[in-house]
Amino acid sequence: MSSIKSLIPLDEYEKELINYLNEKESFNTLSPLRRKKLQEMAKKSLEIKKEIKIEIEIKELQQLKKRAKSLNIPYTTLINNLITQYLKEQNS
């Protein structure tokens, strides 16, 4: 969890939820239904995608688009896959 928190900036609500879930006493006093709901909320908050803007050289963008076309995927998906692959390699 600590590696995920360092990669994804969390808002105050998400930080509060994670802190709450990490407190064993509080978590153990919850009803099973409430505990499951909170776990689902925490998991969902990590799955949310955020749109970003990047600046890239035109030549590099053209290369990415060409590669994406050869893979029959959108170039934005290719960029996302490259970032994900890089982060996985950094964390292993």
User: Nearest-5° angle of CA 65, CA 69, CA 73?
Assistant: 100
**Run of H or E including 47:** helix 32-47
Proportion of the chain in helix, strand, coil states, percent, rounded to 5:
75, 0, 25
Cut 0.85: pTM above it:
no
pLDDT truncated to tens, each residue of the chain (92 aa)? Answer: 444 445 667 778 777 777 777 776 566 677 888 888 888 888 877 777 778 899 999 999 999 999 999 999 999 999 999 998 998 888 87
